[in-house]
Amino acid sequence: MSFTPIIDELANRGFALHKDFLSEDMTHDLVLECRRREREGSLTPAGIGRGGAVAVKEGIRGDRIDWLEPGQSAASDRYLAIMDELRLALNQVFFLGLEEFECHFALYPPGAFYKTHLDRFRDDDSRTVTALLYLNHDWQPGHGGEMRMYLAQGALDVAPVAGSLVVFMSADIPHEVLPTATERLALTGWFRRRAVQPF
């Protein structure tokens, strides 16, 4: 898989947007995997913050999530392997020292949103590059749930259409998920550097 267009867009404008990053077969398998996790009750309300400070605040985000770990399914392992290749490509070009990729399924029920935020915690700057993969095969304008990025040149809305990948520098681009009218599925991930440990 060639990551050159993603790398070039990131270098030129700080974010990359790729329709059809994954084949329909692969996104379909990931949708089935997300649905299975939902049936099994593995998706839980997402928190805000980290560690002991995680709090569920429905006024900020309304998604339910489940983390990917190696060995859970063929589909999620395939996705983790692709993102690991992307991690190495990013390191080669940008010398970011990205050490790992963390990622979760996110299900936004109708009416859910995620208010404007940055993907970097005040107490932990290890999240460096954000990577979002959308999983909505039947998405139509009017379904809502666009991801709005606040760029220097203005706001840009990204439709959460199956197979689309968005990559951006986590500390630089405030963004939000607009209220969705229909159920919205995504894989939300971050490439991390080693966190700097305070003394």
**Interface contacts to ligand AKG, rule CB under 6 A:** 106, 114, 119, 132, 147, 175, 177, 186, 188
User: For residues 20 and 74, which CB has a smaller minimum distance to ligand AKG in the complex?
Assistant: 20
Which run of H or E residues covers position 167? strand 165-169
Segment near Fe ion (CB under 5 A), from 10-18, 51-59, 116-124, 156-164? 116-124
Minimum CB–partner distance for residue 199 and ligand AKG (Å): 30
Give me the least distance between CB of 4 and Fe ion, in Å please. 25
119 binds Fe ion (CB under 5 A): yes
User: What is the spatial order of strands in the sheet that 44-45 belongs to?
Assistant: 15-18, 165-169, 127-134, 184-192, 100-108, 64-67, 44-45
Closer residue to ligand AKG in complex, CB, 66/119: 119
Sheet bearing 147-151, strands edge to edge: 114-117, 175-177, 147-151, 154-158
Q: Which is nearer to Fe ion, 117 or 194 (CB)?
A: 117
